[in-house]
Amino acid sequence: MSLEASRESVVSLLPAQRRQHIVDFLRRHGAVTLTQLEQALGVSVSTLRRDLDLLAADGVIDRTHGGALLRQQGYTAFEPDSLASSELSPREKRAIGEAAAAALQPWQSVIFDSGSTVLEAARAAAARAIPFTAVTNDLAIAQVLGTNSQIQVHVFGGQLRPGSQTLVGEALIESARAIQADVLLCGAHAITEGVLTETSAEVAAVKRALMRAAVSRRLLVDASKFRPRTFMQVATLAEIDEVICDDALPADEAERIRNLGRRLTLVTVPA
């Protein structure tokens, strides 16, 4: 079913059925904002607020500032599949990816971490007419970059995570120790009070290794990623050189980043 057809079917549901659809959506994604729910389901924000308040009162979900998440006991280790992640905030991710790609310089060496926002950066970078060297642990990103003959693409060796196109493992971490790239473009599952976290220990270990392998570390995240923490700590914002985010980033989070002396780039998302 197309996204448009799915939205039309949700709008026509009875309130109880609509709330069940919201719960199913959260079980698929783990945590979402009101804006993401509105875009995906085609239901007004006022209606969604009432639905989420009722679901929270019934103990089904936990409300957050501007959204909702699975009950805490299930959220910290919850990991959406790669398709589910790509469905959320597509316009924001595209704008962030384009900004990250625009900042790359000819002849740089660039590590592309796995993730849907970094994938958008790879698409934008592949569309540019500049030569550079790319290294990645994501097979989808490697394929996208490989469409541009000016980009020299290297893929880390490792184990393929089930249900994804991401490579992980000790062999990859060992390979990362041997390189020193100019730039790392990376993502995160959640950023909470200045701490980057992931739901998977093996993914977190790879991200830490990639951070050590780059001179400039650039974090690509949309505003919805500033939410309660998940299972495994990756790093702190103090270890990041630049955060590229959409302009819906809460003011207190923007202030935290700037107070750390980190560069903050906020992009405007086309309507």
Q: Which of 42, 75, 108 is the last residue of a domain?
A: 75
Whether the predicted pLDDT of 102 surpasses 70: yes
Same structural domain for residues 257 and 158?
A: yes
- Segment 223-253, tens digit of pLDDT: 989 988 888 999 999 999 999 999 999 999 9
Nearest Cα neighbor of 39 from 64, 79, 7 is 7
Same structural domain for residues 262 and 180?
A: yes
Choice between 27 and 118, residue whose per-residue pLDDT is larger: 118
Nearest Cα neighbor of 31 from 191, 225, 252, 187 is 225
In this structure, what CATH number is given to the domain that contains residue 15? 1.10.10.10
Same structural domain for residues 69 and 98?
A: no
CA pair distance 97, 28, nearest whole angstrom: 24
Q: Which of 17, 51, 75 is the last residue of a domain?
A: 75
Residues 69, 263, 271, 25, Cα dihedral to 10°: -10
Pairing of β 132-136 and β 109-112: parallel
CA pair distance 184, 214, nearest whole angstrom: 6
Same structural domain for residues 136 and 223?
A: yes
Note down the domain range covering 41: 3-75
In this structure, what CATH number is given to the domain that contains residue 163? 3.40.50.1360
Q: Which range, of 36-45, 80-89, 189-198, averages the lowest pLDDT?
A: 80-89
Q: Which of 36, 56, 75 is the last residue of a domain?
A: 75
Same structural domain for residues 59 and 135?
A: no
Nearest Cα neighbor of 221 from 253, 260, 252, 199 is 253
What pTM, to 2 d.p., does this model score? Answer: 0.81
- Segment 12-32, tens digit of pLDDT: 567 888 888 888 888 778 788
Same structural domain for residues 63 and 90?
A: no
Same structural domain for residues 20 and 122?
A: no
Same structural domain for residues 245 and 196?
A: yes
Same structural domain for residues 185 and 141?
A: yes
Same structural domain for residues 204 and 121?
A: yes
**Total domain count for the chain?**
2
Same structural domain for residues 89 and 37?
A: no
In this prediction, residue 67 carries a pLDDT of 85
**∠ CA 256-260-262 to the nearest 5 degrees?**
100
- Segment 134-177, tens digit of pLDDT: 999 999 999 999 999 999 999 999 999 988 899 999 999 999 99
Pairing of β 214-220 and β 242-246: parallel
Pairing of β 67-70 and β 109-112: unpaired
Same structural domain for residues 149 and 40?
A: no
